[in-house]
Amino acid sequence: MIGIDKKLDSDGCDLSNLDSFLSDRVQSVPPSGIRRFFDLANEMKGQVISLSIGEPDFVTPWAVREAGIYSLEQGHTHYSPNQGYIELRQAVSHYLADRQGLNYDPQSEIVISVGGSEAIDLAVRAVINQGDEVIIPEPCFVAYKACVSLAGGVPVTIACKPENDFKLTADQLAAAITPKTKLLMLGYPNNPTGAVMSRDELEKLVRVIEDKPILVLSDELYAELTYEPAVHQSIITLPGMRERSILIGGFSKAFAMTGWRIGYACGPQKIMAAMNKIHQYAIMSSPSTAQDAARVAIQDSEKYVAPMREEYNRRRRLVVNACREAGLECFEPLGAFYAFPDIRSTGLTSNQFCEKFLQEEKVAIVPGNAFGECGEGFVRISYAASMDNIREAMKRLKNFVSRSKQNV
Amino acid sequence: MIGKREEILHLLEQNARLSVEEISVMTGQPEEEVRATIQELEDMNIILGYGALVNWEKTTSAPVTALIEVNVTPQRDRGFDEIARRIYRYPEVKSCYLMSGGYDLMVILEDTSLKDVAMFVSEKIAPLESVISTRTHFVLRKYKMNGTEFIKQDEDDREAIIL
């Protein structure tokens, strides 16, 4: 920058050191601890098989893409209402009623967001005051903690245990609650573990919070990707939960629409109005093209999701079977598109395992500790990749693990 | 939810080289069960064979595909089956269908040459007594066959890691 080197402002602040201008909140969010690994994987992109990606390898179903093209042809290139086109909100409302028996008023209880991620950010910002505590069971999607910190809240993480398949237990939840607790963030089916919570398990959590002033954010982005015998059960369907819960849903994972950036939030009218206020000032509205395409997807959801779900399920069985044959313990992931095997028997840390696996076998996967410290000793394998790539990668995994174990 | 049998059929239709072991893992069915199901499907002539999906246009052999519409007079008691059989028994015929609409039989020749098609129509099909007329179409380009697109966009252009 010309002209500002060493120039001092009136408070003596050094403009050449722009770090000092960054907000404390932004600076309080630590850079990713595995940045080095990310860079390495990106550098080797093209030469490696990537089982590291948290997005479907499928392209959006053609009928949905075609709806987007038609929308553009019709000249739907303007702002939509802030909370989204009413037709899409109605479609979301019907869909949730049909799939989960949840009833949300499309006029006042649904906001269409720019992906599930924006909806999470909106929800946190709408309810969190400086110093409010937010309970986050880990391992989990990496954005939860950052959103809470950026909103001035205090993330209180719970280290979920491998022996519970990394599911949150009532005891752990009860122990984390303080008078400052405002919000509990749940993400099931879980990224990165693939764990799914049963009705029984959720009921135990409800009993812990039902007499306390605690809200629940239920991130259900992977709800459609749940495999037999598991069924997706939203905590919001349990008695008394609807009025204190925010449901986050999306199109990215179920309909392979990551790049369209479209999701939604549902909840009590007051909270939705608050979220819509932030959404309105920060984003204005979600992309109109994406909304038109998403409506087609969700109106006929099973037609588009079923073939992908069946294919994921086959890959899931293949990956879990291969991990176990390779000598890694791996609990049965019944949701999302991840397996989360235990690599401690190799004597390597998660980072070492992933770095060596990348360098020696040219396969990229993600260290478990990227999703919270308690994920150390585990790795996340995404099976959102072609069957051919998965089969080859699993062959290499077997070689790598057997080599590593010889060195233990 | 498709049935277990249909799932195996879809898998083999996509990739006939899958082993029983692999199908067993992918579908979560025991190996013996998969083996028995496939045997049964073969016995019932539901699985008729296992082939590769070939793009002949990329080989040096003559890559002509012809679709021949044939109008015929059905025969008493035997309908179209007898005349169809007389046509489809020629090894040149890759597929043969009885059609509704403007003509009766669709006869498909693949991996052949213009000359061979012309000879086949004029010498083998047209002279048949029940054949009233034929119309021959040549395929100019194949875009998609058996569910597979010929121009593959198989480059994975997703970001290596996002969050």
State the pLDDT at residue B87.
95
Segment A189-201 mean pLDDT: 97
Q: In which residue are the tokens 């702002």 written? A: A79
Helix, strand, coil content of chain A in percent (nearest 5) = 45, 15, 40
- Interface contact B160-A52, CB threshold 8 A: yes
- Position A274 pLDDT exceeds 60: yes
Tell me, yes or no, whether B33 and B62 share the same domain: no
Residues in Cβ contact with B50 at an 8 Å cutoff, skipping those fewer than 6 apart = B12, B16
Nearest CA in chain B to A36: B161
Give CA–CA dist A286/A110, Å, rounded.
Answer: 13
State the pLDDT at residue B76.
77
- Position A149 pLDDT exceeds 70: yes
Strand bridging mode A181-187 / A215-219: parallel
**Which tokens belong to A242?**
């609807």
- Interface contact B25-A52, CB threshold 8 A: no
Please spell the DSSP secondary structure of A335-388, one letter per residue.
Answer: BTTEE--B-GGGT--HHHHHHHHHHHH-EE-EEGGGG-GGGTTBEEEE--S-HH
The verdict on A303 touching B (C-beta cutoff 8 Å) is no
Class of domain A62-299: alpha beta
All structural domains of chain A with their residue ranges: 32-54+303-406, 62-299
Q: What average pLDDT is seen over chain A?
A: 94
- Position B161 pLDDT exceeds 90: no
Tell me, yes or no, whether B61 and B21 share the same domain: no
Q: What is the dihedral of CA A60, A62, A67, A71, to 10 degrees?
A: 80
Q: Which three-class secondary structure state does DSSP give residue B119? A: helix
Tell me, yes or no, whether B29 and B94 share the same domain: no
**Which tokens belong to B117?**
């098609």
Give CA–CA dist B26/B3, Å, rounded.
Answer: 14
Residue B86 inside a domain? The answer is yes
- Interface contact B22-A318, CB threshold 8 A: yes
Residue from the list B156, B159, B163 with its beta carbon closest to the beta carbon of A143: B163
Predicted confidence (pLDDT) per residue in A309-363, tens digit: 999 999 999 999 999 999 999 999 999 999 999 999 999 999 999 999 999 999 9
State the pLDDT at residue A331.
94
Residue B49 inside a domain? The answer is no
Cα A81 to Cα A85, A279, A284, B117: the distances in Å are: 6, 11, 8, 62
Amino acid at B45: N
Among the four given CATH numbers 3.40.640.10, 2.60.40.10, 3.30.70.100, 3.90.1150.10, the one describing domain A32-54+303-406: 3.90.1150.10
Between A313 and A2, name the one with better pLDDT: A313
**Which tokens belong to A215?**
């809200």
Residues A391 and B15 sit within 8 Å (Cβ to Cβ): no
A166-199 as b/e, with b when 16 or more CB fall inside 10 Å? bbbbbebbeebbeeebbbbbbbbbbbbbbbbbee
Q: With bands split at pLDDT 50, 70 and 90, how would you rate the model's confidence at B151?
A: confident
The verdict on B157 touching A (C-beta cutoff 8 Å) is no
Cα A256 to Cα A24, A29, A61, A81, A308: the distances in Å are: 36, 30, 8, 25, 9
Strand bridging mode A181-187 / A133-138: parallel
Tell me, yes or no, whether B29 and B79 share the same domain: no
**Which tokens belong to A266?**
């549902």
Amino acid at A303: K
Give CA–CA dist B101/B152, Å, rounded.
Answer: 34
Residue from the list A41, A54, A318 with its beta carbon closest to the beta carbon of B163: A54
Q: With bands split at pLDDT 50, 70 and 90, how would you rate the model's confidence at A170?
A: very high
- Interface contact B27-A315, CB threshold 8 A: no
Give CA–CA dist A109/A247, Å, rounded.
Answer: 10
**Which tokens belong to A407?**
């060195």
Q: Which three-class secondary structure state does DSSP give residue B158? A: coil
Residue B48 inside a domain? The answer is no
In B26-157, where do the E strands start and end? 64-72, 93-98, 105-112, 131-138, 144-145, 148-149
- Interface contact A321-B11, CB threshold 8 A: no
Residue B74 inside a domain? The answer is yes
CA nearest to B70, candidates B21, B20, B135, B127: B135
- Position A1 pLDDT exceeds 50: no
Tell me, yes or no, whether B62 and B13 share the same domain: no
For chain A positions 114-153, those within 8 Å of chain B (CB to CB) are 141-143
- Position B119 pLDDT exceeds 90: yes
Residues in Cβ contact with A242 at an 8 Å cutoff, skipping those fewer than 6 apart = A102, A236, A268
Give CA–CA dist A386/A368, Å, rounded.
Answer: 22
Predicted confidence (pLDDT) per residue in A44-73, tens digit: 877 889 999 889 999 999 999 999 999 999
State the pLDDT at residue A38.
75
Predicted confidence (pLDDT) per residue in A295-305, tens digit: 999 999 999 99
Helix, strand, coil content of chain B in percent (nearest 5) = 35, 25, 45
Give CA–CA dist A2/A122, Å, rounded.
Answer: 38
For chain B positions 82-141, those within 8 Å of chain A (CB to CB) are none
Q: Which three-class secondary structure state does DSSP give residue A6? A: coil
Q: In which residue are the tokens 């954010």 written? A: A217
Structural domain containing residue B26? 4-43
The verdict on A50 touching B (C-beta cutoff 8 Å) is yes
Residue B88 inside a domain? The answer is yes
B-chain residues within 8 Å CB-CB of A321? 25
**Which tokens belong to A329?**
């313990």
The torsion angles phi and psi of A264, rounded to 5 degrees, stand at -155, 160
In A239-316, where do the E strands start and end? 245-250, 263-266
Q: With bands split at pLDDT 50, 70 and 90, how would you rate the model's confidence at B162?
A: low
Tell me, yes or no, whether B115 and B82 share the same domain: yes
B-chain residues within 8 Å CB-CB of A52? 160-161
Q: In which residue are the tokens 């008493």 written? A: B76
Give CA–CA dist A240/A205, Å, rounded.
Answer: 13
Predicted confidence (pLDDT) per residue in A204-218, tens digit: 999 999 999 999 999
Strand bridging mode A263-266 / A245-250: antiparallel
Fill in the DSSP letter of residue B121. I
Number of domains composing chain B: 2
Predicted confidence (pLDDT) per residue in B99-116, tens digit: 999 999 999 998 888 999
User: What ipTM score was computed for the predicted complex, to two decimals?
Assistant: 0.71
- Interface contact B159-A306, CB threshold 8 A: no
Query: How far A210 CA sits from the closest chain B CA (Å)?
Result: 33
State the pLDDT at residue B71.
96
Q: With bands split at pLDDT 50, 70 and 90, how would you rate the model's confidence at B153?
A: low
Q: What is the CA radius of gyration of chain A?
A: 22
CATH code, domain with B99:
3.30.70.920
- Interface contact B161-A366, CB threshold 8 A: yes
The verdict on A318 touching B (C-beta cutoff 8 Å) is yes
Q: What is the CA radius of gyration of chain B?
A: 21
**Which tokens belong to A82?**
């802030």
Interface A-B: count of C-beta contacts within 8 A: 54
Cα A366 to Cα A10, A326, B6, B54: the distances in Å are: 47, 18, 35, 38
Query: How far B131 CA sits from the closest chain A CA (Å)?
Result: 42
Tell me, yes or no, whether B38 and B60 share the same domain: no
Tell me, yes or no, whether B37 and B63 share the same domain: no
Tell me, yes or no, whether B136 and B74 share the same domain: yes
- Interface contact A55-B162, CB threshold 8 A: yes
Residue from the list A41, A141, A314 with its beta carbon closest to the beta carbon of B161: A41
A211-221 as b/e, with b when 16 or more CB fall inside 10 Å? eeebbbbbbbb
Tell me, yes or no, whether B64 and B133 share the same domain: yes
